[in-house]
Amino acid sequence: MVKLRVFEIKDKTGRTIYLTKERWAHIQKHPEMSDQAEQVKDALRYPDKIMSFSYDAAVSFYYRYYKEKKQYLFISVKYLNGEGFVITSFYTDKIK
């Protein structure tokens, strides 16, 4: 079953990452994220930092700093079968 996608892009490392409509609906529960789809794409293409998740090697964290917000956009991505999908995204004050 193919899930409906909001977008599909190549990240900084050339890997394919997609965002499903279901995950986008979840992300939009954070009020500051309602109109941030382009910023999510930009943060995946041009992150300031990519970190591995110590509890799950298939998960990576992407961070991009936005000066106007004085915050980092955080994106959690899980890789399965050669593709990544966005789990969640929100703004945070620091890289964790």
- Return the residue matching tokens 């998960």: 59
Report which of 92, 90, 95 is spatially closest to residue 28, judged by C-alpha positions: 90
Q: How many domains does the chain have?
A: 1
- In this predicted model, what pLDDT tens digit does every residue of 17-60 receive, in sequence order? 999 999 999 999 999 999 999 999 999 999 999 999 989 999 99
Report which of 86, 70, 82 is spatially closest to residue 23, judged by C-alpha positions: 86
- In this predicted model, what pLDDT tens digit does every residue of 3-13 receive, in sequence order? 799 999 999 98
Q: In this structure, what are the phi and psi dihedrals at residue 67, rounded to the nearest 5 degrees?
A: -60, -40
Range of the domain at 65: 5-92
